[in-house]
Structure 1
Amino acid sequence: MNFATFDLNLLRVLDALLTEGSTVKAGEKLGLSQSAVSAALARLRHSLDDPLFIRQGNRLVATEFAENLRHPLRQELEQLEQILSPPKAFDPMTASGNFKISSSDFFAEMVMPQLGDMLYKKAPNITANLVDLVPYDYLDSLERYDADLAIIPDTELPEWINKRALFYSPFLVIARDTNPHVDSLATGDTMPLDLLCDLHHVLFSPEGKTSSIGDAALAKVGRRRRIAMTVPVFSGVCRVVAESDLIALIPSQLAFKVASEIGLKYFEPPMDLPAPLIVGVWHKRFDKAPLQSWVREQVFDLMRPLDPGLLPARHPA
């Protein structure tokens, strides 16, 4: 038999004939006419080089070769049917697997604790993995780490990627509350431009670059700031500021969360600093994957409080 040219639909006919022992009943089971079943049987006999069935009265009796196919053929057809059937309703309490998220440690601070608690209560056998973003190549994070979801600033994306807008991330200036240079400022004030440029900054930069969106905003007003240090994680930026007289620009949501915990003040920047739109992106192959779809929606629900209308005047229309 040449399997490459064999019509696999004939296997359904063979299975029905083995079960029913009649071309009429097999046709009724498959929704085919008796003549169509008889034609299929003729093709099966030719392809398999065996009579397959011998007529005995009103019944077709399987040959030894056909009888030996009965159970393995049924098993294979049932397995194929199971593979091609729509997935069963997803039950997080019994589901198991991993969900990998690629993001900066901002996400570890702002959402990962709630995600861990939620999974513990609703999906105890699902493990969440947070991995670093690939600097300047966010989509590579999806492929290199085989990530199920990446949390990134909005950008142009190829057609094989889906995205969901999550929140705007305005920036605030942070300084430790005992920093003598900000004694005259109250939390929430706008930091004077001269002061911002005179003080030394610690910059969040996973790859060690010494400029960012803040420097571009300052350049538009003809000013520069002084970068004293770069740190690859936001938690490190906050710790440096809390234990020195350096200052930094960090996302507002993070500033609000950690300010009282580690003794920081936060201030409005004096220049026009656009609030980046943060989006969740994932490969379209995971659109309907039950586990990935469910965890992805849980993550998005947990992130909704991150954009409660902060600094609305700064948000793009």
Structure 2
Amino acid sequence: MGIDQVNFATLDLNLLRVLDALFSEGSTVKAANRLAMSQSAVSGALSRLRHALGDQLFIRQGNRLVATDYAAGLEAGLREELVRLEALLAPPAVFDPQTAKGTFRIAASDFFAELLMPPLADLLQKSAPHIRAQLVDLVPNDYAASLERRNADIALIPDLALPDWVNRAPLFHSPFHVIARKGNQGIAELKDGMQMPMEVFCALHHVLFSPEGNLAAMGDAALHRVGKRRQVAMTVPVFSGVCRAVSESDLIALVPAQLASKVAETFGLRVYEPPMEIDPALIIGIWHKRSDNAPMATWMRSQVFGLMKVLDVDS
């Protein structure tokens, strides 16, 4: 049976919600949990969908259901139509942060655990006590994936090319500073705030922030332009681990300037200007266009972005 033969007059539209959940979860158990249904009810709905659409829709592959080619062609369009239907049926309401309830997920590195979440916690306690904020990991190599899969409402990332269904807002520029522990003999003659000499920077061993375990980053590109190299002794997937490693060893690290300033006293660190010129990274906030007019998401974006923009070195 082809799609043009489906009798929409008799098709239960609730089945489309089940189909969307199966696309997202790849499992009847997980889809049932998402929809607050029993697994048997989801399995029954899948059987009815198969009959109505004349296609298997999903093939079991290990522990996961994999969409057939026919079903895969329905996924994006189905989700867009369900989002439109939800927006159409949603009653108009004035958003009141004091009474609003919900969860807002922020995909970002742990840099923001230090610089965003503390002031956001204070803001929400005072202005929106029933809204829960969650900081979640970024999807490696695909920052937009969390938004597409609804695992995050916004992502805070370096500026880069993005799909046309993603909206963006510039937040702040982040230059880089060098951190070293106060007892590091390699920097004994240097005072806080000085520019670290190139020979010292290249002689000392580095710990590098890299969730993927890469051995090079922006600092290495800047060094390459002046014909120099640094010695990376360790990579760590979180900034807190970078700072901890530096605080308890003679390793040094290049980190965002705002983070260096925030944690220097806590970790007993000295902070220096790097010996080479590194273009400051522009940090942006991104979100899916489907959330442009969602009241809670709009309000939360405004609060989060406002807290971030004060970090700009030019502000």
| Both proteins in one fold, TM over 0.5 | yes
> Could you tell me how far 1:146 is from its partner in structure 2?
2.2
| CA distance in structure 2 between the partners assigned to 1:174 and 1:3 by the alignment | 64
- What is the CA–CA distance in structure 2 between the aligned matches of 1:187 and 1:87, rounded to whole Å? 56
2:310 is paired with a residue of what secondary structure?
Answer: helix
Report Cα offsets for 1:56-83 as digits up to 9, x if no partner.
Answer: xxxxxxxxxxxxxxxxxxxxxxxx9x96
Corresponding position: 1:187 with 2:189: no
Q: Are 2:82 and 1:90 equivalent residues in the alignment? A: no
Letter matched to residue 314 of structure 2:
G
Quick one: which of 106, 129, 137 aligns to 1:132?
137
* Number of the residue aligned with 2:154: 149
Structure 1 stretches of 5 or more lacking a match? 5-79, 311-317
Any residues of structure 2 matched to 1:146-185 within 5 Å, and which? 146-185=151-190
Q: Report the alpha carbon displacement of residue 84 of structure 1 after superposing the two structures with TM.
A: 4.5
User: Is 1:246–2:254 an aligned residue pair?
Assistant: no
The partner residue of 2:203 within 191, 198, 205 is 198
Report the CA distance between 1:87 and its aligned residue.
2.4
Write the distance in 1 (CA, Å) between the matches of 2:237 and 2:137.
10
Residue pair 1:131, 1:145 contacting (<8 A) in 2 also: no
Aligned residue runs from structure 1 range 1-317, under 5 A: 4=9, 84=89, 87-144=92-149, 146-309=151-314
Other structure's SS at 1:191 match: coil
Q: TM-score, normalised by structure 2?
A: 0.71
Paired residues, number: 234
Q: Which runs of 4+ in 1 moved over 6 A?
A: none
Separation (CA, whole Å) in 1 of partners of 2:8 and 2:122: 53
Amino acid at match of 2:137: D
**Structure 2, unaligned runs of 5 or more:** 1-6, 10-84
Question: What is the CA-CA distance between 1:3 and the residue it aligns to?
Answer: 8.4
Residues in 2 aligned to 1:3 and 1:219: alpha-carbon distance in whole angstroms: 62
* Alignment CA distance shift 1:85-1:179 (3 Å): closer
| Change over 3 Å in CA distance of 1:149–1:188 after alignment to 2 | same
Larger Rg: 1
Q: CA deviation at 1:308?
A: 3.9
> What is the CA distance between 1:196 and its match in structure 2?
0.6
Q: Cα distance, 1:147 vs. partner?
A: 0.9
Q: Is the 8 A contact 2:174 2:313 kept in 1?
A: no
RMSD between aligned residues: 2.0
Identity across the alignment (%): 60
The CA deviation at 1:222 is 1.1
**8 Å Cα contact 2:173/2:313 also seen in 1:** no
Shift of 1:141: 2.6
Letter matched to residue 248 of structure 1: A
| SS of residue paired to 1:277 | strand
Q: Distance in 2 between matches of 1:91 and 1:145?
A: 23
Shift of 1:307: 0.8
